[in-house]
Amino acid sequence: MRALIVDDVRPIAAVMTKYLAFSGFDARLATNTDEAFSCVHNWSPDVVFTDVEMPCGGAPKLLEKLATLQTCPTVVLMTGGDPSWAIGAVLDGRAAAVLEKPFPLKLMVELMRDLSPEPQRHLAPLTSSCTDRDHGLRIRPSSGTDVPSIFPEALTGPSLAHSSAPIE
């Protein structure tokens, strides 16, 4: 499967891209909406992980552009801010899930496997704080994870999860 990571902070996008590649996926990165749309048009990723807030329009602009395509990739929204807009995009069908930053990178791999059209041998359950009647997931990592995170542990603050089960 192919994944496109879209984040205006290049080091973060690079870490996510390398982690997905290390996990067996074909992954590329883009640092803005125009670059992302060009990559989608020319490369056809299966999943686009995009930051919500970026210069030049961010995820709202990218979703608007993707809606013009005949075949649109699955979109996963990532946000470090208020997730209200992103949750709305999931509820109205423009995105499949919301990842709240910071999150363990393993969640991206689990989402890729869950979104794969091919059956997988072993899929670990996602830790989700709410599922919305087949419209998508809002994912908040549980505390106690020992998987890599995008941000240093000092920045993660108190547990963001409503579930006490650690991700395996």
pLDDT digits (tens, 9 = 90+) for 77-132: 999 999 999 999 999 999 999 999 999 999 999 999 998 876 544 333 333 333 33
Q: Is 146 exposed, middle or buried (0-12, 13-18, 19+ CB in 10 A)?
A: exposed
Tell me if 85 sits within 8 A of 53, measured CB to CB: no
Secondary structure letter of residue 121 according to DSSP: S
Q: Tell me: the pLDDT tens digits for 132-141?
A: 333 345 555 4
167, pLDDT greater than 60: no
56, pLDDT greater than 90: no
Secondary structure letter of residue 104 according to DSSP: B
Superfamily of domain 2-155: Response regulator (3.40.50.2300)
